[in-house]
Structure formats: structure tokens, C-alpha cells
Amino acid sequence: MTPVAKRAGEEIDFEAAARECRPFLLQIAVASTRNPSDAEDVVQEALLRGYRGMKGFRGDCPLRIWLSRIVVRVAINHHRSVARRLKRWVFFGDMEFPSDDGTIHEYDPPDPLREFDRERMLDVRKHVKRLPDEFRLPLMMLAVDGMTVPEIAAVLEIPEGTVKSRIFYARKRLNATLRTKKRR
């Protein structure tokens, strides 16, 4: 039997709604985690939590917004978990080893076939990734996911004015760092 949620006197088929919302939720998760495979895990966990907590769905907002809030919370928890694990990892890319002839080689050298000039694009991407989550998430939701300011406000559970100011300051920071980089 397919689970059903109630909203304003109507029944919602959770399975069908989840299937319909999945691409939208995945976009939010990718913007949050910065990694497509982690985003898949985040969406799966969020849908599982949504399924389990469906009785708590009051119907005061669209199911898609309710699920996207869960995605954001799961992504934040995932980020904290990854940060804790990273403290314990050894990065093999930072390691070097001597060869028989005495030269030093990187443990995992870059693939020369993948090297091409995309410096400017990588700079933008790198600086976007460096933005604090409070600025990066609304900017990515607007620019990449095509969400509106009211949708972003509903997902992040903050006022629309706050969304607008965070997007403004994110753009301002990006512009300043890219101009500084260009002058060098």
C-alpha cells in the first residue's frame, strides 16, 4: 500500500510526489554537498525521513518545500559528518615518494589527458565553494537551480529579505575576489 499524507482535505500519494520532486531535491542536494554522489545519498536519506515523518506533515506548505527543508537539514548533517571524517583522513595526493633513480614523484599524479585551460571557470567555481554556506546556498539555489526568492526563503526557512541580502553579499564577495585575482 502506498503511503498517503493529508493536506487541506486532500490525500497525497507520497511515493508519486517523491518521484516527481526528486530532480528538484537532487539539485538542492548537489548545491549543498558539492558532490553528486553525496547528493544522491542526501536525497535518499531525506526521502526516507520524509516517509517516516509523513504523519507530521501539516500541509501548510507544498510537499516539495517540506521535503526540500529536510534535504537541507540532512545536507548540513552530512557536511558536519564529512568534516569530522576528514580530520582523520590522510590525503594521498599530498604525499610524495622517491623512485629508484632518486627523483621524487607525487603519489597520485594528475592525468595529463584532462589538463586544458579552464582557469577562469575554475577560479569562479573555487571562490563559490569558498563562500560560507549561508551565502553559497541561496546563490546556488537562485543561479543554478533557478529557484525564486520566495522558494529559497521557504526552503531555508528565512525571510525573503535575508535571502536577497545573502545573494547580494555573495555576489559582492565573488566580484571582489575575482577582481583581486584579475589584477595579479
**33 within 8 A of 26, measured Cβ to Cβ:** no
Q: Domain limits of the chain?
A: 4-86, 117-183
Contacts of 144 (CB under 8 A, 6+ apart): 27, 31
pTM to 2 decimal places = 0.51
Kind and range of the H or E element at 52? helix 36-52
Q: Which three cell numbers stand for residue 17?
A: 510526489
* pLDDT of res. 94: 53
Tens-digit pLDDT profile for residues 49-101: 999 888 888 888 888 889 999 999 898 888 777 666 655 555 554 556 677 78
Grid cell at residue 25: 531535491
Instruction: Judge contact between 155 and 69, C-beta under 8 A.
Output: yes
Query: What's the burial of 131, exposed, middle or buried (CB within 10 Å: 0-12/13-18/19+)?
Result: buried
Question: For 102-147, what is each residue's pLDDT tens digit?
Answer: 777 665 555 554 544 356 666 777 888 888 888 988 988 888 778 8
CATH class of 117-183: mainly alpha
What is the CATH number that goes with domain 4-86? 1.10.1740.10
What does the block give as the cell for 107? 603519489
Task: Tell me the pLDDT tens digit for each residue of 169-184.
Answer: 999 988 888 777 666 5
pLDDT digits (tens, 9 = 90+) for 6-61: 544 457 788 898 899 999 999 999 888 888 888 999 999 999 999 988 888 888 88
- Match 531555508 to its residue by C-alpha cell: 156
> Residue 155: pLDDT above 60?
yes
Contacts of 51 (CB under 8 A, 6+ apart): 3, 14, 18
